[in-house]
Amino acid sequence: MDEQEIYKNIGQQIKKLREIRHLTQEKLAEKSGISLDYLGKIEVTINKPGLKTLIKLSNALEVPIKELFNF
């Protein structure tokens, strides 16, 4: 699995977890403290989130960070 595929899978997993929790992108961005634009670009693999961002997202989604890599 190459780097691009890993980021694609992370973005898809974030979107999946967000939708399971019935959160809009706007609400998750607000809860995690990142911009709506940045979150949207993570979900479609335009942006590659760093560890701090992944921690913020996992906390906002109320899941262990390893759950973002469950693909």
Q: What is the CATH number of the domain that holds 36?
A: 1.10.260.40
Is the residue at 9 inside a domain? yes
Whether 20 is covered by a domain: the verdict is: yes
- To the nearest 10°, the Cα dihedral for 7, 66, 62, 51? -50
Confidence of residue 11 (pLDDT cuts 50, 70, 90): very high
Q: Is 22 left (phi over 0), alpha (psi -120 to 50) or beta?
A: left
Q: What percent of the chain has pLDDT over 90?
A: 97
Do residues 36 and 25 make contact, with C-beta atoms less than 8 angstroms apart?
yes
Q: Residue 10 has what pLDDT?
A: 98
- Whole-prediction pTM value? 0.95
| 29 within domain boundaries | yes
CA 9 to chain CA centroid, nearest Å: 10
In a domain? residue 18: yes
Mean pLDDT of 46-67: 98
Average pLDDT over every residue of 55-70: 97
Q: In which band, very low, low, confident or very high, does the pLDDT at 61 lie, cut at 50, 70 and 90?
A: very high
User: Among 10, 23, 19, 24, which Cα is nearest to 66's?
Assistant: 10
Q: For residue 69, tell me if it sits in a domain.
A: no
Question: Domain range for residue 41?
Answer: 3-64
Q: Give the count of domains, the chain.
A: 1
